Structure 1
Amino acid sequence: MRILIGCETSGVVRRAMAARGHDVWSCDLLPAEDGSNRHIVCDIRDILGDGWDMLAVMHPPCTRLCNSGVRWLFGPPKNPPAEARGQERAAWAEMPEEQRLLIMWRLLDEGAALFSACWNAPIARVAIENPVMHRHAKERIVNYRKPDQTVQPWWFGDAAFKATSFYLRGLPKLQPTNRLQPPKAGTDAHKRWSIVHRASPGSERWRLRSRTYQGIAEAMAAQWPAAAMEVAA
């Protein structure tokens, strides 16, 4: 199958799909961490119509769409959001609150537009990873519907907590492959499993929080193309 992995720089899902013989490419505004020549640096919307059999959007910018970000629509953050324009970030501290709020709502519109473009792409099979959204985001997404499932890395053999929701079109829910037994809360093991949530603030925090766990990537590669080809046959 010809597969596009959108909003991925790590290459984890791309490599898992490629290992099973698919013609797979990743795409992001940033270059690939592994230096692969099967990574396209561009806005994903520029290539959605290029004849893909499957689209998996792994880490679309979601800060403005998810529940944890809704508060900034009514009380702008003290520090400028990373998605703001350079001149906006430079002037953020001196801006009136009303102007900062207008920027936050614009960023919400931009995030919803990207999600909508991917969700409604002219591709038969689509999977988009995204946290639970607030109502203002849902209202802005064309043909929005609830996520089809929420999985955990430990369902697929990775000792970690990270609730991951998938919006699916033309693809089945992922089936667990190697369920582990989660450790009890308060134990050292539980703290190790919570590394994503306990990550210290910093320039690399986003990279840790967005990376797809290997077990989930392997499950995607094993289950989704196979299900699609079975239907086609």
Structure 2
Amino acid sequence: MKFIIHILLISLTMVGFAQNQDLFEKANAFYNAGKYAEAIDNYQAILESGYHSADLYFNLGNANYKLNNIAPSIYFYEKALLLNPNDQDIKDNMAFAKNMTIDVIDVIPEAGLAKIIKNIANAMSFDSWAVCTVVLVFVFVILFLFYYFSYSTFRKRFTFIASITALMLVCITLALAFHKYNLEKLDNPAIIFVQESRVKNTPNPNGEEAFRLHEGTKVQVVDSYNNWQKIKLTDGKTGWVMSEDVKLLKDF
């Protein structure tokens, strides 16, 4: 019985893949024919089936850009970049899309030790740092065993220093792994999805207006309350916007 269910699941997966492939090719044909709205409908149908990829988001960004849909084009380019952060075509096209935005927001540069630690932590993913930590723990155990069972003074001294070095590296990589985890946890980007959003000082429709943002602007969501999202800009400004004004990038 389990075997039959397994076969059925594989068959359904293959059918779903074939259908998505047909939709993708159909959407590309619409795009090449200049029928961008139809292309978007077919790309969206693939997303609704539960499948997503950098190429799919990239094509959605291109189709929306052709229709001057500022927020959706930037949103889908950003999603594509999350899945394929080193793709230069995505970066180039997103730069063109961002030229259509209204808001010009300064970036406060990081400096000092915090910047150095952040850059080192971002050099690898959390999983990669975790693997390094495990490998170094294994190396430490092996070196310590060599130290413990060695009779030569030179070997004892060498393996002792090497094992202590490995242990120190374990602590460093473990700290960097947790720092990377916290950075990823705090990173919650979103795109303003309305033509104009009135940012409030408090999560209240009658609250004082702090400033306004326009479609396509990227923000960081740092908190939420009821149907409000607290956002932070790269220049340090914070405020509250209605939840429907923004669309989170990490929701897949």
Query: What TM-score, normalized to structure 1?
Result: 0.25
Between structures 1 and 2, the one with greater helix share: 2
- Using CA pairs under 8 Å that are at least 6 residues apart, name the structure with larger relative contact order, 1 or 2: 1
Max radius of gyration: which structure? 2
TM, length-normalised to structure 2: 0.24
